Amino acid sequence: MEKINIPDTLKSFAQRKKSELEQYETVITVPSGTCCQAAGSLPVLLSLQKAVEKKKLQSKVRIRVSGCQGFCEQEPMVVIEPGGIFYGRVKPEDVKEIVEETVINKNIIDRLLYADPVSGKKVAKEEEIPFYKLQDRTILGENKFIDPCDIGEYIARGGYSAFVKVITTLSPDEVIAEVKTSGIRGRGGAGFPTWKKWEECRNAPGEIKYVICNADEGDPGAYMDRSVLEGNPHAILEGMLIGAFAVGATQGYIYVRNEYPLAVKNSRIATDQARELGLLGKNILGTGFDFDIHISRGGGAFVCGESSALMESVAGKVGEPKPKDVHATERGLFNLPTTLNNVETWANVPLIIKQGGAWFSSKGTEKSTGTKIFALTGKIKNTGLVEVPMGTTLRRIIYDIGGGPQGGAQIKAVQTGGPSGGCLPTLKFELPVDFEALSAAGSMVGSGGMVVMDDHSCMVDVAKYFLTFLQDESCGKCVPCRIGVDRMLEIITDISEGHGTMEQLDLLEEVSEAVAVGSLCGLGKTAPNPVLSTLRYFRHEYEEHIKNKRCSAGVCRELIHYSIDKEKCNGCGLCLKACPHGAVTGKKKKIHVINNELCNKCGICKEQCKFDAVILS
């Protein structure tokens, strides 16, 4: 690739690439993000390539390997343009039929179409699928059109034009003013106004400044940053270029988890290609603006997602948070002014410049503008990434987009914002999802994880799970977080094992509050949220565990036991064969018995029994 030296050349480059891509009659998109690959997209891709080759269609059909499109429930999927025909859960065996029927004969294969779980109707076109239809996919929607490993495709779709606009027509102050009009707030969780951060950093004294992209996404059940970075890395590079121009930075870092190998790979390819084209490096597009991006791999600690710990880690030190009496915009990475934003924030920047701050602020609520991606997981029908305007109600996200509970269960709560967030009960489902409303309810938007729980989940166990996670991931520097979270876990373990007391429950609340007030960094300050929110909305479950020594969801192992209904058991022996601990005894055609001393409460016998003879009590 040749270096582009004048901004105008980028336009002709885009034109050229566009007409090059338009030569193909059909485009088959196979999303192959990490999640898609786990679901088996690579064998599908391979057989697709073979089938196209076999039919000698290479000049007519283009196979695009894109990033994740968010509908994880239906992966691996294939989307065929023109028409936007959507086939979900494709197997390698189906590929031959797809090529012959759909690509050559233009027929739709009914068998592979997506069936709406609510109405049962088959849907042929991608945009008509309710899961997609109810969303506003300004960022995620781009993933479909872009091969992350080809900068040309991004440029052909108008990529880097926002940066050209900025560098040729706008001043840094105008850029910050535009971002201010948009009202965008940090997508990493705290919701700090982005323009304010930029302005503080711009006004901070110093020649050398840095911008950082925080892609250290460690929340259990959240993966939107990964999908964006994997699927559309150039949007982030462009956002960072604009940010660097606005704050006056010359060096940028993308701090990405090493557990995201594909994101690391794709962002490296992206920076290399951008450098080759002259969009990174010295004298970008001949304008005299210097900026380069370095990919910094994370060391595997959750706490490194915290801004000051992240900067320590980038600098090669132990990733431990520092006191934040001086803002990072004044003294951040290497003690120099630094602007750190989340992946999603950076990805929004080019859109704000391109379409205007007013366009962005027209979405969402007054104080929380724009769209936000949520990772919808747990016990619902449609799991995946959901992008909706801020202020959409939880009910709409969970029931309308998510399709409601699986298999006739009742949804009990939703956990938003990962380990730092809280659990909200169904009563709160009318709540609009924005920064203020969720924090008032005791949870937070956080990075955007949403784990839906049904009546098979015990809230004490959920709080215990998050505390175990946080205790494991706490850096151990400050007392409230290191000892406090450990003590909280100690108390919750007591409660879940049935020897908790009511005094301990009060103490748990007291410790939670002290940890929230006294901790050094955001991890500790928000660590008690899962406990405080479950105590606020599900106190009866805690009391049930303490007073009645009972776990009605049947989760806490110490409080449940399995037995066999003598009337229903017909001695088939399935449970006996399945039990990994040898706890079931009984002869053929005779009633079986579970030995409670050997039983590990794994529940396999209950799953195996075809006659509902295993009782959980």
Partner 1 sequence: MPEYVNVTIDGAKIRANKGTSVIDVALEYGICIPNLCHMKDLNPIGACRLCIVELVEGGRSKVTTSCTLEAKEGMVIFSHSPKIVETRKLIAEMLVAEAPNSRAIQDVAVRCGVTKVRFPFRNKNCVMCGRCVRACTEIWRSQSLGFVGRGKKRHVALPFHERPDFCKRCWYCVDICPMLITPCDGPMEPGNEYLCNKCESQLTMALESPDTCIQCRLGKGFGCPRGVTQE
| 271 vs 471 by CB, closer to partner 1 | 471
| 110 vs 503 by CB, closer to partner 1 | 503
Question: CB of residue 206 vs partner 1: minimum separation in angstroms?
Answer: 18
Distance CA 334, CA 459 (A): 43
Interface positions, 273-302, toward partner 1 (CB under 8 A): 301
Question: CB of residue 474 vs partner 1: minimum separation in angstroms?
Answer: 4
Residue 518 binds partner 1, judged by CB under 8 A: yes
| 322 vs 379 by CB, closer to partner 1 | 322
Question: CB of residue 302 vs partner 1: minimum separation in angstroms?
Answer: 10
| 21 vs 481 by CB, closer to partner 1 | 481
Pick from 61, 231, 63: nearest CA to 141: 231
Q: Which helix (H) or strand (E) holds 529?
A: helix 529-537
Residue 183 binds partner 1, judged by CB under 8 A: no
Residue 511 binds partner 1, judged by CB under 8 A: yes
The pair phi, psi for residue 279, each rounded to 5°, is -95, -5
Taking CB under 8 A as the rule, which mask of x and - marks residues 451-490 in contact with partner 1? --------------------xxxxxxxxxx-xxx-xx--x
Question: CB of residue 512 vs partner 1: minimum separation in angstroms?
Answer: 10
Question: CB of residue 337 vs partner 1: minimum separation in angstroms?
Answer: 18
501-525: b (≥16 Cβ within 10 Å) or e: eeebbeebbebbeebbeebbbbbbb
Structure tokens at 122: 């088959």
Asked whether 280 and 163 are in contact (CB, 8 A), the reply is no
The structure tokens 């809230």 sit at: 459
Please name every residue paired with 562 in a beta bridge, in sequence order, or none if there are none.
Answer: 616
| 401 vs 481 by CB, closer to partner 1 | 481
Which of 173, 366, 513, 607 forms a contact with partner 1 (CB under 8 A)? 513
| 451 vs 505 by CB, closer to partner 1 | 505
Distance CA 556, CA 457 (A): 10
Name, in order, each residue with C-beta under 8 angstroms of 140's C-beta and a sequence gap of 6 or more: 69, 70, 227, 228, 231, 373, 385, 387
Distance CA 379, CA 437 (A): 24
| 18 vs 367 by CB, closer to partner 1 | 367
Longest dimension (CA), the chain: 86
| 33 vs 321 by CB, closer to partner 1 | 321
Pick from 162, 160, 157, 145: nearest CA to 274: 160
**109-114: long-range contacts at Cβ-Cβ below 8 A with a sequence spacing of 24 or more?**
112/87, 112/88, 113/86, 113/87, 113/88, 114/74, 114/86, 114/87, 114/88
Q: Which helix (H) or strand (E) holds 18?
A: helix 7-22
| 65 vs 508 by CB, closer to partner 1 | 508
Taking CB under 8 A as the rule, which mask of x and - marks residues 489-508 in contact with partner 1? -x------------x---x-
| 148 vs 522 by CB, closer to partner 1 | 522
Question: CB of residue 464 vs partner 1: minimum separation in angstroms?
Answer: 16
H-helix segments, 445-501:
459-473, 479, 485-496
Distance CA 556, CA 604 (A): 15
Residue 196 binds partner 1, judged by CB under 8 A: no
Residue 309 binds partner 1, judged by CB under 8 A: no
Asked whether 251 and 294 are in contact (CB, 8 A), the reply is yes
| 165 vs 487 by CB, closer to partner 1 | 487
Residue 510 binds partner 1, judged by CB under 8 A: yes
Residue 323 binds partner 1, judged by CB under 8 A: yes
Residue 205 binds partner 1, judged by CB under 8 A: no
Residue 316 binds partner 1, judged by CB under 8 A: no
Question: CB of residue 475 vs partner 1: minimum separation in angstroms?
Answer: 6
Question: CB of residue 139 vs partner 1: minimum separation in angstroms?
Answer: 33
Question: CB of residue 194 vs partner 1: minimum separation in angstroms?
Answer: 20
Kindly determine how many residues on this chain lie close enough to bind partner 1 according to the rule CB under 8 A.
Answer: 31
Residue 334 binds partner 1, judged by CB under 8 A: no
| 168 vs 335 by CB, closer to partner 1 | 335
Question: CB of residue 318 vs partner 1: minimum separation in angstroms?
Answer: 8
| 523 vs 576 by CB, closer to partner 1 | 523
Amino acid (1-letter code) at residue 353: I
Q: C-alpha distances in angstroms, 267 versus 147, 150, 289, 616?
A: 12, 11, 21, 50
Question: CB of residue 76 vs partner 1: minimum separation in angstroms?
Answer: 37
Residue 193 binds partner 1, judged by CB under 8 A: no
Which of 358, 502, 517, 598 forms a contact with partner 1 (CB under 8 A)? 517
Q: Which helix (H) or strand (E) holds 384?
A: strand 384-389
Question: CB of residue 326 vs partner 1: minimum separation in angstroms?
Answer: 8
Which of 495, 520, 527, 556 forms a contact with partner 1 (CB under 8 A)? 520
| 147 vs 219 by CB, closer to partner 1 | 219
| 150 vs 509 by CB, closer to partner 1 | 509
Question: CB of residue 594 vs partner 1: minimum separation in angstroms?
Answer: 34
Interface positions, 216-275, toward partner 1 (CB under 8 A): none
According to DSSP, the β-strands at 210-215 and 251-256 are: parallel
Distance CA 445, CA 439 (A): 8
Q: C-alpha distances in angstroms, 485 versus 105, 321, 459, 531?
A: 62, 17, 17, 10
Which of 207, 325, 567, 597 forms a contact with partner 1 (CB under 8 A)? 325
Burial of 324 (0-12, 13-18, 19+ CB in 10 A): middle
Question: CB of residue 469 vs partner 1: minimum separation in angstroms?
Answer: 11
Peptide bond into 130 cis (omega under 30): no
Question: CB of residue 320 vs partner 1: minimum separation in angstroms?
Answer: 9
- Using only C-alpha atoms, the chain has a radius of gyration, in whole angstroms, of 26
Other Cβ atoms closer than 10 A to 215: 29
Other Cβ atoms closer than 10 A to 564: 22
DSSP letters, 571-589, are: ---HHHHH-TT--EE--TT
Residue 519 binds partner 1, judged by CB under 8 A: yes
Q: Rule CB under 8 A: which residues touch partner 1?
A: 301, 303, 318, 323, 325, 471-480, 482-484, 486-487, 490, 503, 507, 510-511, 513-514, 517-520
